[in-house]
């Protein structure tokens, strides 16, 4: 088990981890479908996942830790996903880059967030923007 370096995370993520005294680790050999394990003070991320998944999962799990939610229903999971996006994505920058016709791969690489979360965020921010229907190409 190895502690996750948050050096490359946005400052607000590092501040939340420090303020709430949360410890984040990566662990190999977790079951294939397991992305995380958590309690209030410790988050363990599956080290075998790609960087985008690990960053997003850590921020998602921060929501559960900070707000002490433990029931993981679909509403709470959506809130945790939105929280992770808010921590990792600057909405104005995302809108600008999406309107430049950046590919989904480009946006994923720029924000270090899984493509499916980028796509959801763009569609939430610009629900009536028909020109963005092709962003998934």
Q: pTM to 2 decimals?
A: 0.81
Q: Which pLDDT band, with edges at 50, 70 and 90, does 33 fall under? A: low
Give the DSSP H/E element, type plus range, for residue 79. helix 74-88
pLDDT of 109 reads: 86
Q: Is the pLDDT of residue 38 over 70?
A: no
2-3 sheet: strands from edge to edge:
2-3, 23-27, 42-46, 36-38
Six token digits for residue 110: 């720029």
pLDDT tier, 15 (very low <50, low <70, confident <90, very high otherwise): very high
Which of 26, 27, 24, 45 minimizes the C-alpha distance to 36? Answer: 45
At residue 137, the pLDDT reads 43
pLDDT of 73-130, one tens digit each?
788 888 999 999 999 998 899 888 887 866 888 888 888 888 888 888 888 887 876 6
Residue 102 and residue 111: Cα distance in Å, rounded? Answer: 12
Which residues in the chain belong to E strands, given as ranges?
2-3, 23-27, 36-38, 42-46
- The string of pLDDT tens digits covering residues 118-137 is 888 888 887 876 655 555 44
Region for 129 from its dihedrals, namely left if φ exceeds 0, alpha if ψ lies in -120 to 50, beta otherwise: beta
Q: What is the pLDDT of residue 36?
A: 61
């Amino acid at each position: 088990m190895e502690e996750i370096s948050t050096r490359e995370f946005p400052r607000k993520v590092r501040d939340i981890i420090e303020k709430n005294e949360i410890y984040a680790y990566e662990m190999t050999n977790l079951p294939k479908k397991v992305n995380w394990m958590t309690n209030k003070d410790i988050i363990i991320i599956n080290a075998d996942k790609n960087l985008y998944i690990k960053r997003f999962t850590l921020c998602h799990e921060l929501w559960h830790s900070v707000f002490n939610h433990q029931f993981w229903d679909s509403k709470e999971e959506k809130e945790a996903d939105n929280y992770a996006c808010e921590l990792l994505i600057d909405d104005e920058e995302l809108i600008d880059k999406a309107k430049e016709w950046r590919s989904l791969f480009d946006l994923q690489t720029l924000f270090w967030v899984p493509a499916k979360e980028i796509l959801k965020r763009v569609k939430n921010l610009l629900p009536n923007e028909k020109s963005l229907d092709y962003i998934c190409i």
